[in-house]
Homo-oligomer: A and B are copies of this chain.
């Protein structure tokens, strides 16, 4: 029988809530609903267990992980399953590099460190990566901060036989992949794009933060629509023209909680220059989209670690927005 993968997580936000609750739900039900890959290298979803968790919020530190995931500002829903106490108290996380030895010690026994904190703190991300390296643990960076894109750091993980996967998680199902797919379909069918927009509304802390600093995300969205993943493997000529696609400001609407709502419109022309029009509304839980990819990253990292394959693994490129080699 396969040994359960021991995962430590940094960040006890909505994404961790979705991961921890989903693990419980699938273990109890045996369901495969919503799971992209039931088995990866012999590891099922139920073969993953969280053994440590780090956070900086005073309210969360010391609480059992299964309680801490429901504390504000988290607002991912309580899934319909039993959630037995994890026996994993939330540990005080890193603030700067001075805490690295302490965190490395706390990682004893873990195989994978999943870095799932908010983006925008590159020094913290790298300090955790150092701790993982020190403790001989694989590291996954789901934030847009450059970690796997740092060739020096990647080289050190590779040399140590430790997997380093990142950066910037691509959601299992989100606005970009949907918008991209529709624009590409129109193009394949020979329609000419006239204009297109997307509006994204949500109620999480992530949305609140992005509303305060909108430009980065908007540019990132436009990149994703024009030349980013998952289209980056297509020749440039086949990609939709970026100039005609507009991304409206994000809307932070607290009542949506962890749901994201996106409105998309595409106006195009077909034969005879006649109008073709598409209006789409998408509703999805963002944290589920993250957890549904994290469960794959964790299994790929664990499998690589057990096999002694250090560094980056090309297998995860489609799961990331900014893999090694893309712009920092």
Query: What DSSP secondary structure best describes chain A's contact surface?
Result: mixed
Please name all residues of chain B whose beta carbon is closer than 8 Å to the beta carbon of A280 when the two chains form the complex.
Answer: 278-281
Please name all residues of chain B whose beta carbon is closer than 8 Å to the beta carbon of A291 when the two chains form the complex.
Answer: 271-272
Query: Do residues A197 and B253 form an inter-chain contact, with CB atoms below 8 A?
Result: yes
What are 17 contact pairs spanning A and B, CB under 8 A?
A25-B272, A25-B273, A34-B268, A34-B269, A34-B271, A34-B272, A79-B273, A172-B271, A173-B186, A181-B182, A195-B256, A197-B256, A199-B248, A199-B263, A249-B250, A271-B289, A278-B281
Please name all residues of chain B whose beta carbon is closer than 8 Å to the beta carbon of A37 when the two chains form the complex.
Answer: 190
Which residue on chain B has the smallest CB distance to residue A181?
B185
Smallest beta-carbon distance A15→chain B, Å: 10
Chain A contacts with B in 167-217, Cβ cutoff 8 A: 172-173, 177-178, 181-182, 185-186, 189-192, 195, 197, 199, 201, 211
Smallest beta-carbon distance A154→chain B, Å: 27
7 pairs of A and B residues whose beta carbons are closest in the complex: A36-B190, A248-B251, A271-B292, A22-B272, A195-B255, A271-B288, A277-B283
Please name all residues of chain B whose beta carbon is closer than 8 Å to the beta carbon of A285 when the two chains form the complex.
Answer: 270, 272, 274-276
Chain A interface (Cβ < 8 Å from any Cβ of B): 18, 21-22, 25, 31-37, 77, 79-80, 172-173, 177-178, 181-182, 185-186, 189-192, 195, 197, 199, 201, 211, 244, 246, 248-251, 253-256, 261, 263, 265, 268-285, 288-289, 291-292, 295
Please name all residues of chain B whose beta carbon is closer than 8 Å to the beta carbon of A211 when the two chains form the complex.
Answer: 249
Please name all residues of chain B whose beta carbon is closer than 8 Å to the beta carbon of A185 when the two chains form the complex.
Answer: 177-178, 181
